[in-house]
Amino acid sequence: MKNNAGRFSQGQFGQTPGSSSLTSEEAYKLLGLKKGASKEEVLKAANQLQKKIHPDMNRNVDSSRLSQLVNEAKEKILKTDFS
């Protein structure tokens, strides 16, 4: 399975790998999901958000922090609920 964390993965912005400032509740809210969503729903929601905030789609927004938050939310849910 391909690692979708990309260049904005955790640990790159002063956090220790595996740490996240997001709670599980915040992660689900950020992705627009409710607790109990399937792994596929989590991945789909994260990918859809990444497409919406991609620099090619939003030239007026610095999306690097938004992208990092989406990845943190996805990783938090996957680590907490699916590992």
Encode pLDDT of 23-70 as tens digits. 999 999 999 999 999 999 999 999 999 999 888 887 777 788 889 999
Domain boundaries 22-81, corresponding CATH code: 1.10.287.110
Q: pTM for this structure?
A: 0.71
A 10 A CB-CB count for 37 gives 16
Mean pLDDT of 12-27: 67
**pLDDT greater at residue 3 or residue 48:** 48
Q: Counting Cβ atoms within 10 Å, is residue 27 exposed (0-12), middle (13-18) or buried (19+)?
A: buried
Distance of CA 50 to the CA centre of its chain: 8
Domain boundaries, the chain: 22-81
